Chain A
Amino acid sequence: MSKKIRYVPRWVAETLVIPADTTVIASPTIFANTDVWPMQLHWLSVTGKVALTNAEEGAANNAGGVARRLSWEIGMAQKGEINLVAGGTDAFFASNSYRRQSYSIFDDGVKFRFPSEYELAPDSGLVVQAASKNADYATYNPSIIVNGIRDEGHGSYDPAQLAGVHEGTLTYPASINMESSDLFNSGQNTMYLKEMLLKPGQLTVNPVGGVDEATNVSAFEPTLDRTLWRINPNNDIPWMPQDELIPVGNIAPFNRAVRDTWDEGPRAYVLPTGTKLNPRQRLTLRITNLNETTSPDGDQTIVLCMFSLLEVQ
């Protein structure tokens, strides 16, 4: 009898500084399958901050763009060079996105669709932390919504929703824990999670003074590389096992940035369907910064994130 497979999402990320004209290898211990179940690889996402002119400073910096002059080689570790595929950031990491009406993302935040619905057991919930790494701004009311359905028995499923709102201001470098009562699947029935909306909150405080943000703007700003989250079930295999929080643009890369004319939002490389890491296998990621500008001006800091589904039996 074959056992039922449960798909558990898994995000792992690493912050890398790639000096100008230098090659860096991502930590093999992070982009590895350290569990006992096969790991179905879905995508690699990358966010960062491109060097912008003064005129472009401001909100564009929050978009999480990455320099194009990065060259990538990706492959399974210990399989030899032949296995590596190489390409530039533009070629590899398309800015894979749903395009939306200008500014509507202010309200939408960032949406993540679970590739396979996640089974949240009865009487268990999510533990959600959020943080800002934006020293320039504070946000009010960061929030998370999780939509799904709940098994009501007799083959009937009702809509179900989990939510967390921090009713206060999130300021760098503080991090907060969402109140858990509304993030809990109370009762006796399994809930199946379908999508997650992550909103950094309304940008309300501008302690430094920016270009456009000089007035207090009441908008849900995505700040794709400046708001960070860590979301885990309270009694299941962790989704984000690392201590570090992960930028929202890396968690859900298929959302375009606000200022898409000025910058590129997070980029994602979707791995070929069926790509798997077996237990103890790992990915090799070799990234070369082709920027010839002398370090540190030509350096590029990125957050690289791997999303996969653990096939838990």
Chain B
Amino acid sequence: MGTNYIPFAVREVMILAANTVQAAKITSLAVSSRQPDAHTIWQDINVWEPSKFNEYSETVTPLGFDNDLFMRYGQKNRGYLLDRPIPVGVFASEGRPMHPTWKFDRPYTIYPGEALSARIITGGIPQADPQGSLGDRTSAPGIVFNCVREKDGQPHILHDSIQELLDVGLERSLHGTFLKCPSDSPVKIYGVSHHQWFNYDSDATNTQPLGIEIFGPNGQSWIHIIVDPATTLNAQHIIGAWIDPPTSLIGLGSDLGWRTPAGSPLAIEFENRSSASKEFVLTVRGFAEVEDE
């Protein structure tokens, strides 16, 4: 049946004390395979400081990335690519997307009889009394996978949504009929998106992302998480904002050599040069390259 590319997002919620250096936990960035000579394709890295809410407006407080959070990365056992860490913002090479969409570097194929499912935790701004013009805070979340049918190349959509308005923080599962692969053809999935997309600028302190977790046909979650026990972030932050990165991305990709043996994890080192501790979310997205059995 050929090669398949299983999407994954590995995430670590890190708390870095003032003036310390720490590497992300290698286990969170390892993708293993039972097949010999299997590979991992790394698509991008995202470093997000939720306390900043990435206020891309210039009249408020510091934007985007802190100047005193440094990093460097490389393959484990092959050393970091640079001899010293440099500011995180220096690496950013891809703008945050115009839509809450993750476009896959490589398509992921699902076959007749298989289905995807998801769970969501509504995001937004949890205020009892919405500010006048901003209106009602409840919303009806959903998910869409953009696909192409293998048999004739026609576009196909796998989708599901919740047909009720939900308050921020409420959880629902998505496992409807339309998340199943059609019975007449495998479909190749080229991207995933959801329509809840929050402008963090509008209320920097309170906005919460849409929490989302996607499960493959075998029940395996696409997002793998290691969370610092001392985190102050809530569930939406911990599983949110990985389809819709809230800041610019650090592009990897096989073009830049980021197709590595599956047993060779990424290593990322951070240095906090500030006199205050920092809490941030590291997300690395990619694909496990496997041979379909």
- Interface residue ranges, A against B (CB under 8 Å): 59, 98-109, 111, 140-141, 143, 145, 147-150, 157-161, 163, 165, 181-182, 194-195, 197, 199, 202, 212-213, 215, 217-220
A145 is contacted by which of B67, B90, B96 (Cβ under 8 Å)? B90
Once the chains bind, are A159 and B56 in contact (CB under 8 Å)? Answer: no
Known: A145-B90, A161-B82. 13 other contacts (CB 8 A): A107-B65, A107-B92, A107-B95, A140-B67, A143-B86, A147-B256, A160-B257, A182-B82, A195-B93, A215-B59, A218-B67, A219-B63, A219-B64
- Interface residue ranges, B against A (CB under 8 Å): 56-59, 62-65, 67, 74-75, 78, 81-84, 86-87, 89-98, 247-248, 251-252, 255-258
A212 and B57 alpha carbons, distance in the complex (Å): 10
Once the chains bind, are B93 and A108 in contact (CB under 8 Å)? Answer: yes
Once the chains bind, are A104 and B59 in contact (CB under 8 Å)? Answer: no
A23 and B260 alpha carbons, distance in the complex (Å): 56
Once the chains bind, are A101 and B90 in contact (CB under 8 Å)? Answer: no
- Chain B residues, Cβ within 8 Å of A103: 56-58, 63
A sample of 28 cross-chain residue pairs with beta-carbon separation below 8 angstroms, ordered by A number, consists of A59-B58, A98-B95, A99-B98, A100-B95, A101-B95, A103-B63, A107-B95, A108-B92, A108-B95, A108-B248, A143-B87, A145-B91, A145-B93, A147-B93, A147-B251, A159-B74, A159-B75, A160-B257, A161-B81, A165-B86, A165-B90, A194-B255, A194-B256, A197-B93, A213-B58, A215-B58, A217-B63, A219-B58
- Chain B residues, Cβ within 8 Å of A163: 82, 86, 90
A161 and B81 alpha carbons, distance in the complex (Å): 6
B256 is contacted by which of A106, A141, A148, A212 (Cβ under 8 Å)? A148
- Chain B residues, Cβ within 8 Å of A157: 257
Going nearest first, the 4 A-B pairs with the smallest beta carbon separation are: A100-B95, A103-B56, A159-B257, A104-B95
A199 and B252 alpha carbons, distance in the complex (Å): 18
Looking at chain B's contact residues, the main secondary structure is loop
A139 and B194 alpha carbons, distance in the complex (Å): 38
Write the nearest CB–CB distance from A160 to chain B, whole angstroms: 6
A109 and B146 alpha carbons, distance in the complex (Å): 30
A85 and B249 alpha carbons, distance in the complex (Å): 40
**Which residue from chain B places its CB closest to the CB of A105 in the assembled complex?**
B95
Once the chains bind, are A199 and B90 in contact (CB under 8 Å)? Answer: yes
Write the nearest CB–CB distance from B136 to chain A, whole angstroms: 26
- Chain B residues, Cβ within 8 Å of A212: 58-59
A199 and B256 alpha carbons, distance in the complex (Å): 20
Write the nearest CB–CB distance from A48 to chain B, whole angstroms: 24
- Chain A residues, Cβ within 8 Å of B89: 107, 199, 202, 220
- Chain B residues, Cβ within 8 Å of A217: 58, 63
A160 and B257 alpha carbons, distance in the complex (Å): 8
Give the residue among B57, B87, B97, B252 with the most A Cβ atoms within 10 A. B87
- Chain A residues, Cβ within 8 Å of B98: 99-101
